[in-house]
Structure 1
Amino acid sequence: MSAPAALTANNTPLSPLRFLERSASVFPDRTAVIHGDRTYTYREFGDEVAALARVLRERIQPGDRVAYLAPNIPEMLFAHFAVPLAGGILIALNSRLAGPELEYILDHSGTTILFVDSEFVGSVSSSKTNVPSLREIIEIPDSTVPYPEVPAGIVTGQYADLLAEGEALADQPLHWGVDDEQQCIAINYTSGTTGKPKGVMYSHRGAYLNSLGETFHNGFTGSTKYLWTLPMFHCNGWCTPWAVTQAAGTHICLRAVRADSIWDAIDNLGVTHLCGAPTVCSTIADAEQAHKVDTLRITTAGAPPSPTIIGKLEDIGVTVVHVYGLTEVYGPYTICEYQEAWDDKPQSERAALLSRQGVGMVQAENARVVDAEMNDVPADGQTMGEIVLRGNNVMLGYYRDEAATAEAFAGGWFHSGDLGVMHSDGYIQLKDRAKDIIISGGENISTVEVEQAIMSHPAVIDVAVVGVPDEKWGERPKAFVVLGKGLQASAEDIVEHTRTLLAGYKVPRDIVFPLDLPRTPTGKVLKFELRASK
């Protein structure tokens, strides 16, 4: 007998839009957002999102892509609700990217409207000309900082004017939900080994369930004061814009991650939670302002946190939680769940245990470590295999890239490309990166992308880029550059050339000029030899 058709009485499509609708209704006067001298209650949060959604709905078709280029300001937070509420798909752009990189994403995604913080208007100076789908560029000024010098003739509208238009449409009803929970809510672009970013599609269902997992594991409540040290452009801030709102906690926006700003928020605003790469942990632990705290929980990912840094944070009362994931799984997928038996272990041993990637979160299945035939490797902490994942918080697929999607989902599991081991207690540990991706400050850097940029220099005939350890960033790129016969270029020349094509954090500052590159008989560069060289 076939199952009955879904009924409205027992089946409501899942969407994180419901989180704001509920919090604005149940806790209208609670402080929702703090940004410098700007504050918003949940009523005001909901009202601004609704106004923006109404005016966007007049400008876009269902499924149109709307992009935001902004730091962690309230408007970026509001976009996570307003764009899908209007029927659009959010593209949160990495504010560290260079103009050509941004234009590639805008063009590939077919973005129709771009919202840009005043500081970054210059980065999109040619986007209107070079991206055929782009119809409008809306400027977002931030009153908490001095107004920068903005190039003329780029923006086509102002954020405040759109809100005024939306308020005039207040009598038009909004549906705080979706008809199909599998429809796309956001596309996040991530670098792959091909060098070009791939668009990772998130669904309303996946975002809803991952948000609940974040709320559970972080312990978010209505008393939570969450500091935005993690970029909202990174995996939609690990779904935390939706998660903190679901708990009706307080978002504390942070335009730039600096030690003094973080400690000021901890001391004066009562921060209880924050997330970020290990560099954020180091910034906090090594700051001059560092001192004992009563309650602070840091969730970190991007690279295994240093046991030394974990120890420093523990000494001042900070709880560090290590998670592991990728853009393709909405951010965190596994968590290093703390065991009471670790209490009696020496701090160094406990820190080493905490630096493992852990076990599947509540909304995820258990991660596996498999060999080339998809068989589980022995759980001995020694045998390496590829980490594969599946479940409700795995992406819908890569936007406009069916071949890459099929490859990533081979065998019914998502292939992370990361190599790790399985310990006897069921905890996984990352050991190496199968695709040579460099993780610097929590951000992925494609070596192929950097190599292609360097190769465009007229004096360069061959190049290889590898990741090398960095005390502050975890890893940094190092380039081995072969110059053509009779051609000249200094390290400074290479750096300056590359900086015109790529974001600053992708540009190698270590440049070596060998006569040739070590290769296999088939011509593949032996990168492990380059990593080991001095």
Structure 2
Amino acid sequence: MKKQLLVTDFLDRARTYYGDYEAIVGTNGERFTYSEFGERVDRFSAALQSRGIGKADRVAVLDPNTHYHLEAAFGSMQSGAIHVPLNYRLTPDDYEYLLSDSGSEVVYADYQYASKIEAVRDDVPTEVFVTNDPAAVDGEWIGFEEFIDDVDADDYERPEMSEDDIITINYTSGTTGDPKGVCRTHRTESLHAQLVTIHHHISDDDVYLWTLPMFHVNGWGHIYAITGRGAKHVCTRGVDAEQVFDAITEEDVSFFCCAPTVLSILREYAEENDPAYTGANPIRVTAAGSAAPSATIRYTETEFGWEFTQLYGATETGPLIATSDARRLIPDEGGLRFSLKQRQGVAPLGTDLCVVDEDGNEVPRDDTTIGEVVVRGNQVMEEYWNKPEETDEALNDRREGWYHTGDLAVVNEDGMIAIKDRKKDIIISGGENISSVELEDTLFDHDAIGDVAVIPAPSEKWGETPKAFVVPANGDVENPGVTAEELTEYTRDRLAGYKVIREFEFVEDIPKTATGKIQKYELRKREWDDEDQMVGQG
């Protein structure tokens, strides 16, 4: 028997078995059971259909992690429309591009960000504008409550849907060039959410804290997984360390996901304020977006007492490609535990993961030979929206039918991969390849460093040389607590001679995407502005 895999199944299951149980804790203090949540979702679907929005039409959502985002997402999808979540840290010009590229006919925007949409209102194809607080927004916007109160839940009719229908378009974070719309089907979303449920050990009594943006590939699939298991969502309006620790104790949080930078923020706050680290439940935390420094992992497990898991992925893959959820391969204690947990890990169920050379052949499991990470599985995207050439390159470059990540990695004897760099971030100095990730991890162990990014800088002698942009731990760029010379000696004691960092710049912050990925291209562009080309063409 074959049953269609549909994202509507997740909320349907929660309503069937957990209707009377708390589903959502809103940022405004409101609380909803799964029955109440489901009824609001039905009314959002009915409101769309009353305005002629139906199957394959695009509905954009611009919202921090509130209950409105969840309602608009499920309301769009169960009406057959395509859910288009938007990064809430962009500019009006960015939104003009995203709304136009996706052809979104409806946009729901949180009151805090709606003005950015209003600024380009006349330049986008969107016709229906909804916000959760119209009084706080200039222009003609429909209030969310008014939008769903004008209809009855019974007015909504679910259309026939196929598991191969595109149901969401997730835009890449745009670390280089314009974002691309990643098309994901009911099938890819459903199977990915099941993988997340398995490898994150999600259960119906979990309390999930939304520190990870819901817009980021649908919150790594957690809008589905948490809902489908009948667990509880605790919403936020971004990451505030004090509020995170308060939520952990007040709501007995058991699980959350984030970028490694969030763990650093929580550590800094904890060291100054000494909050309680857990409520009634033990805590699991998963980090991704970049490799967490081993020092951060060590602190998270030994000081906070939280179980740490590394996740590796991309928007194009849902994002799960690999995970350090491999307990039999990682010792229970000791330094090796943290270095292995720092690795991106092993492929999840139903996923083929390889590290390949230029000819598409697998590299040996010697933990030394570098190759590109390629992956195939049910969670991989269908295509890029309206970009057939980019789709073909991403899925058929070195190996036909595999998604090519552009990440360079090694593989140990157990098959655990470790990312060494992006193709464009590898430093080629005097003909030697140097991993910027390795250099960053080395520097992170220094007490005076709060954050760091290493890029290739021009060198007359070597072509390229490593340069580190350092955010001082004390926040004082003028008096960072360490000199460039001292940091050079620090790296000399810990790295091969050709990897020693001789150039440092102390900065107040490092450019990052909303999901915590360092935008190294911004730093590279500044360093290489006066050069004809980069050695590594990054």
Output one character per residue of 1:479-533: Cα deviation in whole Å (capped at 9) or x when no partner. Answer: xxxxxxxxxxxxxxxx9xx99xxx99969997998797344xxxx32368x9xxx
Please tell me whether residue 195 in structure 1 is matched to residue 160 in structure 2: no
Matches of 2:180 and 2:285, distance apart in 1: 29
1:341-399 superposed Cα distances (whole Å, 9 cap, x missing partner): 643552x321111000111112x413100011110011111101100000100000100
> 2:106 aligns to what SS in structure 1?
strand
1:162 aligns with 2:162: no
| Equivalent position of 2:105 in the other structure | 112
Match of 1:218 in 2: 200
Q: Equivalent of 2:305, from 311, 314, 317?
A: 317
| 1:260/1:289 contact within 8 Å kept | no
The corresponding residue for 1:428 is 417
2:48–2:54 CA contact under 8 A, matched in 1: no
Pick the aligned partner of 2:15 from 9, 16, 24: 24
- What are the within-5 Å matches in structure 2 for residues 211-290 of structure 1? 211-287=193-269, 288-290=273-275
Aligned match of 2:46 in 32, 54, 59?
A: 54
Partners of 1:472 and 1:389 in 2: CA distance? 37
Count of residue pairs the alignment pairs up? 455
Could you tell me how far apart the structure 2 residues matched to 1:517 and 1:380 are? 40
Partners of 1:103 and 1:406 lie apart in 2 by 26
Write the deviation string for residues 190-225 of structure 1: whole angstroms up to 9, x where unpaired. Answer: 145761110000110111111111111122122110
Q: How far does residue 11 in structure 1 lie from its aligned partner after superposition? A: 2.4
Greater alpha carbon shift after TM alignment, 186-195 vs 109-118? 186-195
Q: Secondary structure at the match of 2:113?
A: helix
For residues 64-143 of structure 1, the aligned pairs below 5 Å read 64-131=57-124, 133-141=125-133
Q: Which amino acid aligns with 1:202?
A: R
2:188 touches 2:380 (CA, 8 Å); kept in 1?
yes
User: Structure 2: 5+ residue runs without aligned partners?
Assistant: 427-435, 441-452, 456-463, 474-507
Match of 1:517 among 530, 533, 536: 530
Q: Alpha-carbon deviation of 1:125?
A: 2.2
Q: For each residue in 1:19-40, what CA deviation from the matched residue of structure 2 results, as whole angstroms up to 9, or x when unmatched?
A: 1112112211100000242000
Change (3 A) 1:11 1:471: farther
Alignment-mate amino acid for residue 344 of structure 2: Q
- The letter for the 2-side match of 1:330 is G
Helix, strand or coil: the match of 1:197?
A: coil
Conserved 8 A contact 1:121-1:150: no
Aligned to 2:496: none
Partner of 1:451: none
Query: Equivalent residue of 1:418, what SS?
Result: strand
TM-score by length of 2: 0.78
Which moved further from structure 2: 284-293 or 331-340? 284-293
1:87 deviates by 1.3
Q: How does 1:305-454 map to 2 (within 5 A)?
A: 305-315=292-302, 316-340=304-328, 342-343=330-331, 345-346=333-334, 348-362=335-349, 364-410=350-396, 411-436=400-425
Kindly provide the amino acid, as one letter, of the partner of residue 196 in structure 2: E
**In structure 1, how many angstroms separate the alpha carbons of the residues matched to 2:192 and 2:104?**
26
Q: Determine if contact 1:518/1:526 at 8 Å carries over to the other structure.
A: no
2:477 corresponds in structure 1 to: none
Higher mean C-alpha deviation, range 12-21 or range 258-267? 12-21
Distance in 2, Cα, partners of 1:420 & 1:504? 18
The structure-2 alpha-carbon separation of the partners of 1:389 and 1:516, relative to structure 1 and needing over 3 Å to count, comes to closer
Which residue pairs with 1:454 in the alignment? Answer: none
Aligned letter for 1:171? D
Taking only the aligned residue pairs, the percentage that are identical comes to 32
SS in 2 for 1:209: helix
Query: Normalising by the residue count of structure 1, what TM-score does the alignment of the two structures yield?
Result: 0.79
The Cα offsets for residues 137-159 of structure 1, whole Å up to 9 and x where unpaired, read as 11113xxxxx9x83522x33111
Deviation by residue 1:76-135 (Cα, 9 ceiling, x = unmatched): 11222110111110110000001101110100010101111111122112322111x211
Most deviating of 18-27 and 229-238: 18-27
Cα offset, 1:61, TM superposition: 3.4
CA contact (8 A) 2:209 2:235 kept: yes
Provide structure 1 residue ranges, at least 5 long, that are not aligned to the other structure: 1-9, 142-146, 448-463, 474-494
In structure 2, distance between residues paired with 1:126 and 1:507: 29
RMSD, aligned α-carbons? 3.2
CA contact (8 A) 1:282 1:472 kept: no
Mean CA deviation greater in 310-319 or 198-207:
310-319
Please say if residues 263 and 289 of structure 1, whose CA atoms lie closer than 8 Å, have aligned partners that are also in contact: no
Q: Deviations over 1:435-472 (max 9, x none)?
A: 459999xxxx9x9xxxxxxxxxxxxxxxx9x9955569
- Counterpart of 2:157? 174
Segments ≥4 residues shifted beyond 6 Å: 437-440, 503-516
Contact 1:189 1:199 in 2 (8 A): yes
Deviating more after overlay: 15-24 vs 237-246: 15-24
